[in-house]
Amino acid sequence: MNKELVEWISKAEGDYLVARREIRARGERNYDAVCFHCEQAVEKYMKAYLLKKGVDFPKTHNLIELHELCLPLDGSFEIQRDLLLELNQYGVRYRYPGVTAEKEDAKLAMAHAETVRAFLRAKLGLK
């Protein structure tokens, strides 16, 4: 595995672990951060997949745009579309004042991220 690919995977896993720690934290939890880091983890895993496949990708945070690049490489990505649509909103939605994530939002984001993460890790040949 080349260095850049390892770095993308490491960054993705770092975001996933931050989300997991935050949702399990004792006391006051930051559900906004859980949602954001779930989106970030999936985004970075998708970019790692595209890098592995030799596909150039734009500097984007749009999971659907990345999905459209992955789909021609592997049709099984279609089953992830609905989860990606949900996760896509978390890249911005809770980052600024006006809207705050609730516990249920964070639980849903975490569940979706775990599903997509497992799918992408398998595609990357990881456990």
Distance CA 55, CA 64 (A): 16
Q: Are 71 and 51 in contact (CB under 8 A)?
A: no
| Structure confidence at residue 125 (pLDDT) | 97
Tell me the per-residue pLDDT of 28-64, one tens digit each, with 9 for 90 and over.
Answer: 999 999 999 999 999 999 999 999 999 999 999 999 9
Query: Domains in the chain, please, with CATH?
Result: 3-123 (1.20.120.330)
Distance CA 121, CA 61 (A): 19
Residue with tokens 């991220």: 113
What's the predicted TM-score (pTM) here? 0.96
Distance CA 50, CA 66 (A): 8
User: For a pLDDT cut of 70, what percent of the chain falls above it?
Assistant: 100
| Structure confidence at residue 124 (pLDDT) | 98
Residues of the chain with pLDDT under 70: none
Q: Which are the contacts of 120, defined by CB distance < 8 A and separation ≥ 6?
A: 42, 45, 46, 48, 49
| Structure confidence at residue 95 (pLDDT) | 87
| Structure confidence at residue 1 (pLDDT) | 85
